[in-house]
Chain A
């Protein structure tokens, strides 16, 4: 039995090396396919990082009345923290609000003077709320508008920014969906191209396959080497693709970082090198072997 499998594997390797041009063409198409898939993965990472950064910039500030007591504020804060939609809350006390205001206007003598004259701190404390998702601000705002809190809340800036936040949230959702849709379509096209190339490669061997059948070879014995060949296409292509991404991300990384901000693609590529390679290797070998399996089926009917 082991001789059986070693023969299949050996025949697969021999076919791979002897079918020079067919092998080269197929590997090149597979490289392009894996390259498209890899690029989709990288651009998704970039898109997600950009969208997350934009989303992080959205928040809702609750300005509290100057008369609000500290313990009431803390109760409100802990209630907000218990909401499932809330990601993070920053509490700015009246003192902090004043000092940051002073800091901002330290060059404006008029303002500092008038503050000095006022004696008391005119600013209220504020709570800065980050929701997990930009769509959730609405429900946070609803929660806050209940009459229980109206004694301490002065105003909530959500209602001023409502339209902007909603629009942004729509854009974010649409971008994610579009990104996913485009990725899916491109990936399907790439896979189909690779699949058809392998089908053509096997088509060139269809006469040989029928001869093998007539000589008395079992189907699995004929199919085996083609599947080994398909797996080899996948492995070699994954290697070549990984190598091709190195200079590309090295060149593109700083540019993309400058343009989109945040993530450096090259660093991402290097730090996820292994996972990235495993994914491409997996896709490549599955695509290669599965395409071979499907393509050869029709020629085995002799």
Chain B
């Protein structure tokens, strides 16, 4: 479904983020990408979202080379990928409900679909009673759940989560991971980038380990080993 073909990303001669990385992600997989800070995890995800362009190599989403798309067509790929970030990235001027509805509005859903689906996902992530709060009125865990709701509301094929628990306490962390597992069990591919050892070890799923921009290990039922 997703295929990285000998991808390298060089920001400057002294800073190589990714060095000849190749791997494939199958549909419905739950895959964790682990590595130290600066190992290249975020760059990898940015390349998939076409936020960055690779220095060499190609990134495919199904049969589409993501980076051959013109800037005006990238949104078509992005609508099929839900993204969750460490810093939540909610729209500060919109309420929780509007943040989630925005993703649907942007993809051209009808008002009826929005009115039906948004409460449903808010219920799924347990934010029903916070619908009309603005992001600054929510706790960290609530913000991340709102971000997850936004990421899944368009029923994407893939969820990308970049350090989603980095800013959360242990209890909220487990809730978020449980949510991601639930989403994965409903048939969505999940790509989780993290450096949280406990999470990886408890998941018991495929783990790709990156070090200095290279894949050093790709294990079907991996553990966090660095």
A residues engaging B (CB < 8 A)? Answer: 3-4, 7, 14-15, 18-19, 205, 207-208, 211-219, 221, 301-302
In angstroms, Cα B83 to Cα A223, docked, is: 21
A207 / chain B contacts, CB cutoff of 8 Å: 89
B49 / chain A contacts, CB cutoff of 8 Å: 214
Any chain A CB within 8 A of the CB of B110? yes
Determine whether the beta carbon of A214 is less than 8 Å from that of B51: yes
Determine whether the beta carbon of A219 is less than 8 Å from that of B107: no
Determine whether the beta carbon of B103 is less than 8 Å from that of A214: no
A18 / chain B contacts, CB cutoff of 8 Å: 93
A-contacting residues, B45-88, CB 8 Å: 49, 51, 71-72, 74-76, 78-79, 81, 83
Determine whether the beta carbon of A301 is less than 8 Å from that of B83: no
Any chain A CB within 8 A of the CB of B26? no
B residues engaging A (CB < 8 A)? Answer: 49, 51, 71-72, 74-76, 78-79, 81, 83, 89-93, 102-103, 105-108, 110-111, 150, 154
Residue of A at shortest CB range from B49?
A214
Of A211, A214, A216, the most chain B CB neighbours within 10 A belong to A216
In angstroms, Cα B111 to Cα A7, docked, is: 10
Select one of A15, A205, A214, A216 contacting B154, CB under 8 A. A216
Determine whether the beta carbon of A301 is less than 8 Å from that of B71: yes
Determine whether the beta carbon of B89 is less than 8 Å from that of A214: yes
In angstroms, Cα B103 to Cα A301, docked, is: 19
B92 / chain A contacts, CB cutoff of 8 Å: 208
In angstroms, Cα B106 to Cα A135, docked, is: 64
Determine how close the nearest CB of chain A comes to the CB of B108; give it in whole angstroms. 7
Determine whether the beta carbon of A215 is less than 8 Å from that of B111: no
Select one of B78, B89, B93, B110 contacting A216, CB under 8 A. B78
Determine whether the beta carbon of B93 is less than 8 Å from that of A215: no
- 22 A-B Cβ contacts within 8 A? A3-B110, A3-B111, A4-B108, A15-B93, A207-B89, A208-B92, A211-B89, A212-B102, A214-B49, A214-B83, A215-B103, A215-B106, A215-B150, A216-B75, A216-B81, A216-B103, A216-B106, A216-B154, A217-B102, A218-B72, A219-B71, A219-B75
Other than the given A18-B93, A216-B75, A219-B72, 16 more pairs (CB < 8 A) read A7-B105, A15-B93, A205-B93, A208-B91, A211-B91, A212-B102, A212-B106, A214-B49, A214-B78, A214-B89, A215-B83, A216-B78, A216-B81, A217-B75, A219-B71, A221-B105
Residue of A at shortest CB range from B79?
A216
Select one of B81, B93, B106 contacting A218, CB under 8 A. B106
Determine how close the nearest CB of chain B comes to the CB of A4; give it in whole angstroms. 7
Determine whether the beta carbon of A215 is less than 8 Å from that of B110: no
